[in-house]
């Protein structure tokens, strides 16, 4: 497993580099073919590959993951793949190339894969713009989804917040800041009003966060700015809150006379509620204990994954079954080596159970 993870990590695959993502897809396809005995179907979305395996009906359990990373080409120079002191390091090892390797090693020990599907995509880190429809379609035809995303500290992801993203564009009127500022329409001032209005949409009581992030306005010190741009990140626990915030954002109007604003974006990933994971998490805890590994924790997190999409499609979903470690997207990204076979064993046990005793399937999940 370590050798396979090393090959994946050394094949750098930043999401925006289609050639690099395609090269990594070839390595993933070879790994999956070697360990399962079956080659994948190559699914192309705007030049971006996704890989799908279906064994028999392929409709009882879907294993979901991605092979793109946030790390740019050349990151290996400063963050080489290494195994030392019980830790595995390298760009993308934790999120989530170790999980991809674990997935196939888990399947390799099972005699019966009838009913299993695997879907691995190359655009998760940028919001699944080309694979979303594919992910939702695969989820709707299966009865349960296991997501091999990374696990901080070993806890499974029993709930994830939904994600919305917005870009606000503001237009005003330029003027000389010293001679006749009154003739201008100042987009920096308008931007300040909108930042406060957006921040007020947050609701700590329901776990809703509305965070203005990247902002820009103006060109020179002595010119009233006539254009501004603002990016906004929204996280919510329920679909109702996602709808509320979206309506409120779209309803914002300028404060300054003659200023104008437009929005792009909106809800990107629906919430993954605890109702989506409850039955699968109970099963995982039972299997983990039977394997002799002790208690298994669950946690609700603010970050999104493609598991949000499968839960949104109505299919029971359990996330965080991949590598145990930490430092996702950061210099200290790492995987705890001792946990690799334990997590692979858990995934194998879950798949074997779900093939033999499938869940009722899609349509049962409600945010």
Q: Which residues contact 284 (CB under 8 A, 6 or more apart)?
A: 156, 296, 318, 321, 346, 350
The ranges assigned to domains in the chain are: 2-161+271-356, 162-268
Q: Which helix (H) or strand (E) holds 37?
A: none
Write the pLDDT tens digit of every residue in 189-231.
Answer: 999 999 999 999 999 999 999 999 999 999 999 999 999 999 9
In the chain, count of helices (H) and strands (E)? 9, 19
Write the pLDDT tens digit of every residue in 258-269.
Answer: 999 999 999 999
Assign domain 2-161+271-356 to a CATH class.
alpha beta
Would residue 233 show up in a list of annotated catalytic residues for this protein? no
Write the pLDDT tens digit of every residue in 149-181.
Answer: 999 999 999 999 999 999 999 999 999 999 999
pLDDT for position 364:
62
Which residues partner with 45 through β-bridges? 48
In this prediction, residues 291-299 reach a mean pLDDT of 96
Would residue 82 show up in a list of annotated catalytic residues for this protein? no
Q: Considering 124, 190, 226, 319, which one is annotated as catalytic?
A: 124
Write the pLDDT tens digit of every residue in 98-139.
Answer: 999 999 999 999 999 999 999 999 999 999 999 999 999 999
Question: Per-residue pLDDT for 366 more than 60?
Answer: no
pLDDT for position 111:
95
Question: Per-residue pLDDT for 72 more than 80?
Answer: yes
Q: CA 105 to CA 124: how far, in whole Å? A: 22
Task: Assign 365 a pLDDT band (cuts: 50, 70, 90).
Answer: low
Backbone angles phi, psi at 116, to 5 degrees: -95, 140
Mean pLDDT computed over every residue of the chain: 96
In this prediction, residues 145-151 reach a mean pLDDT of 97
Q: CA 93 to CA 311: how far, in whole Å? A: 25
Question: Per-residue pLDDT for 87 more than 70?
Answer: yes
Could you tell me which of 160, 166, 248 has the C-alpha nearest to residue 203? 248
Whether the model pTM is above 0.75: yes
Exposure of 91 by Cβ count < 10 A (0-12 exposed, 13-18 middle, 19+ buried)?
buried
Instruction: Classify strands 162-171 and 227-236 as parallel, antiparallel or unpaired.
Output: antiparallel
| Both structure tokens of 113 | 């894969």
For domain 162-268, the CATH architecture is 2-Layer Sandwich (3.30)
Q: Considering 4, 12, 68, 95, which one is annotated as catalytic?
A: 68
Task: Assign 291 a pLDDT band (cuts: 50, 70, 90).
Answer: very high
In this prediction, residues 249-276 reach a mean pLDDT of 96
In this prediction, residues 293-304 reach a mean pLDDT of 94
Question: Per-residue pLDDT for 367 more than 60?
Answer: no
pLDDT for position 353:
98
Task: Assign 362 a pLDDT band (cuts: 50, 70, 90).
Answer: confident
Q: Is 64 helix (H, G, I), strand (E, B) or coil?
A: strand
Instruction: Provide the greatest CA pair distance for the chain.
Output: 81
The residue written with tokens 């997501």 in the block is: 147
pLDDT for position 44:
84
CB 184 within 8 A of CB 175: yes
CB 117 within 8 A of CB 142: yes
User: String of b and e for 306-335 (b: at least 16 CB within 10 Å)?
Assistant: bbbbbbbbbbbbbbbbbbbbbbbeeeebbb
Q: Is 250 helix (H, G, I), strand (E, B) or coil?
A: helix
In this prediction, residues 298-306 reach a mean pLDDT of 94
| Both structure tokens of 348 | 């194998």
Which residues partner with 151 through β-bridges? 324
The residue written with tokens 């409120």 in the block is: 248
Task: Assign 47 a pLDDT band (cuts: 50, 70, 90).
Answer: confident
Looking at the chain, the whole-number percentage of residues with pLDDT higher than 90 is 96
In this prediction, residues 274-283 reach a mean pLDDT of 97
CA distances from 201 to 168, 212, 254, 268 (A): 15, 11, 16, 18
Instruction: Classify strands 298-301 and 156-160 as parallel, antiparallel or unpaired.
Output: parallel
In this prediction, residues 290-318 reach a mean pLDDT of 96
């Amino acid at each position: 497993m370590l050798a396979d993870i090393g090959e994946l990590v050394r094949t750098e695959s930043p999401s925006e580099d289609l050639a690099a993502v395609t090269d990594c897809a070839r390595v993933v396809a070879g790994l999956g073919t070697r360990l399962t005995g079956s080659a994948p179907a190559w699914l192309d979305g705007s030049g971006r590959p996704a890989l799908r395996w279906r064994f028999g009906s392929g409709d009882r359990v879907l294993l979901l993951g991605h092979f793109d990373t946030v790390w740019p080409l050349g990151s290996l120079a400063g963050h080489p793949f290494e195994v030392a002191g019980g830790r595995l390091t390298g760009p993308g090892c934790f999120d989530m190339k170790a999980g991809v390797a674990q997935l196939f090693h888990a399947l390799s020990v099972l005699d019966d894969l009838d009913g299993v599907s695997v879907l691995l995509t190359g655009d998760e880190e940028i919001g699944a713009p080309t694979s979303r429809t594919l992910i939702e379609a695969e989820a709707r035809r299966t009865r349960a989804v296991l997501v091999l995303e990374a696990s901080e500290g070993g806890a499974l992801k029993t709930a994830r917040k939904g994600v919305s993203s917005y870009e606000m564009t503001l237009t005003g009127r330029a003027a000389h800041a010293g001679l006749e500022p009154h003739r201008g329409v100042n987009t920096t001032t308008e931007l300040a009003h909108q930042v406060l209005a957006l921040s007020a949409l947050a609701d700590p009581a329901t776990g809703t966060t509305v965070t203005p992030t990247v902002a820009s306005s103006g060109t020179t010190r002595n010119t009233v700015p006539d254009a501004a741009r603002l990016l906004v990140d929204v996280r919510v626990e329920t679909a109702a809150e996602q709808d509320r915030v979206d309506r409120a954002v779209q309803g914002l109007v300028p404060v300054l006379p003659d200023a104008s604003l437009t929005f792009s974006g909106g809800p990107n990933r629906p919430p993954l509620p605890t109702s989506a994971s409850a039955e699968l998490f109970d099963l995982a805890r039972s299997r983990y204990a039977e394997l002799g590994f002790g208690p298994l924790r669950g946690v609700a997190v603010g970050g999104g994954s493609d598991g949000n999409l499968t839960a949104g499609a109505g299919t029971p979903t359990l996330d965080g079954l991949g590598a145990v470690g930490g430092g996702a997207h950061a210099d200290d990204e790492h995987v705890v080596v001792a946990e690799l076979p334990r997590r692979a064993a858990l995934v194998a046990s879950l798949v074997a159970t779900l093939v033999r005793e499938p869940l009722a399937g899609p349509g049962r999940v409600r945010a």
